[in-house]
Amino acid sequence: MTPPADTDARRIAYGAAFTEGLAQMMDADPNVFVAGEDVGRAGGVFGSFRGLNERFGDMRVVDTPISEQAIVGLGTGAAVSGLRPVVDVMFMDFMLVAMDQIVNQAAKLKYMFGGKATLPMTITTSAGAGLSAAAQHSQSLEAMLCHIPGLKVVMPSNPYDAKGLLISCIRDDNPTVFVKHKRLLGLKGDVPEDLYEIPLGTAQVVRPGDDVTVVTYGRMVHEATSAADALAAEGIECDVIDLRSLQPLDMDTVVQSAQRTSRVAVVHEAVRFGGLGGEIASQIAEEAFDYLDAPIERVGAPFSPVPFSPVLEKEWVPNAEMIGERIRALAAA
């Protein structure tokens, strides 16, 4: 994916695009600050906050104790008081420790105050398998968060979207969750130096095609695109949609594609059972059932914890070959 042709772009890594967007927002708005475990002197477990402490100081890049409840609670209080905190929960798995703060406090506060309060807090976190980080550091739990009214959730697949979506999250007056995939942090792409936004709730067609609609997000965008490129040699053209924003969902783009292709596959790295694919498939069935020529295919991980073994983990995560096989069968149905 590339930025618009009229932008002055450079090729930088996904992680660097995230850091740059955050630093520029901190420059532009003194109310923006960062807090979390090791975000200050260490620069974050994956280097996502590297250099910010030296640039902005301890008061705006705050190292916290190892307490996810305290981190999110700090962000919630600061946000309702008029600041724009960016709080980091090191691994997505650890968000479960702070679910009361996220679900019953941050997500509900505007409702509880009759819409008279704002809560411009961004929670950043890292998700996904592929680093042999085992069952407690490798999960993709975005479907849980998307189920919570009051939260907005994004999961960018490339550096350009990482910067643009982060800026939109920070500027939003609602609690947002920005999910980075650990395996994408080194991915390079064209990124404009200026500040720019990608509106929340807008998907993008990253590879046009007329035979099968493939709906996906995060790291699976790259696996699905690789599968689509291979299938093109067999005469099967896939319309690959990168959701980018998971809550709100851009179902208009998805439904319009489904109506045109008549076949749909939904792909995500998260466990297939109870995953976001079920909700997407249901909405497609509600809006475009009469256009479908085959059942909606769902591709996701098996219903098991993420294996520690590199060999088993590689088999557990959906890949281009697996996705291609399912799409090939769907096209023939």
β-bridge pairing 264-271 and 204-207: unpaired
If you write DSSP's letter for every residue of 254-271 in order, what string do you get? HHHHHHHHS-EEEEEEEE
Closest CA to 55 of 32, 72, 36: 32
| Distance separating the N- and C-terminal Cα atoms of the chain | 30
- How many CB atoms lie under 10 A from the CB of residue 82? 9
For 195, phi and psi rounded to 5 degrees?
-70, 135
DSSP 8-state assignment for residue 106: I
Rounded Cα–Cα distance for residues 209 and 307 (Å): 35
Closest CA to 156 of 120, 126, 194: 126
Instruction: Give the distance, in angstroms, between the CA of residue 257 and the centroid of all CA atoms in the same chain.
Output: 21
Residue 222 is among the residues annotated as catalytic for this protein: no
Rounded Cα–Cα distance for residues 57 and 61 (Å): 6
Those residues whose C-beta lies under 8 Å from the C-beta of residue 257, and which sit 6 or more positions away, are 205, 213, 239, 241, 264
Enumerate the H helices of 6-86 as residue ranges: 14-28, 52-56, 68-80
Q: Which residues are catalytic?
A: 137
